[in-house]
Amino acid sequence: MKKIKSSLDRKLLLSFIVKSVFFSAVFCALFSAVIAAFFYQFDIGFESAQYFSAVIMVISGGLTAYICAHSFKNSGFLVGAVSAVPLIIYSLVNLIANHNTVWLFLLKLVLVILVAGFMGAYSVKKSKKIRVKK
């Protein structure tokens, strides 16, 4: 049995970290801009913005996990949940800096981990469906 080269592992890990941070930032900024335009267009008060932030975090976490876990062959739930770490750190900084409520942070934490984990598992499961005909 061949041994796996450590340089390949480092490249895969570095690629995973870069993709996770990049896509988390891109999706979070993109959906935040869409929600901000929605708030501006319909003149909605900013009191409900914190609840929309939970939706943005969950959708961003799911899409990021799907993209990041696609290059792995197993452990999709774990890879998907780990890919949501930049969003969790962002939410924690938001909790500390803006004095948001703790229950909203815990809600975001649970939902982001669950959705990202399931999307990572779905991505890995979907990528394994390659059949070779004899």
Is the entire prediction scored with pTM above 0.75?
yes
What distance in Å separates the CA atoms of residue 38 and residue 65, rounded to the nearest whole number? 26
pLDDT tens per residue across span 39-79:
999 988 888 888 899 999 999 999 999 999 988 888 899 99
What distance in Å separates the CA atoms of residue 33 and residue 20, rounded to the nearest whole number? 20
**Sequence-ordered strand ranges (E) for 1-134:** none
What distance in Å separates the CA atoms of residue 58 and residue 8, rounded to the nearest whole number? 31
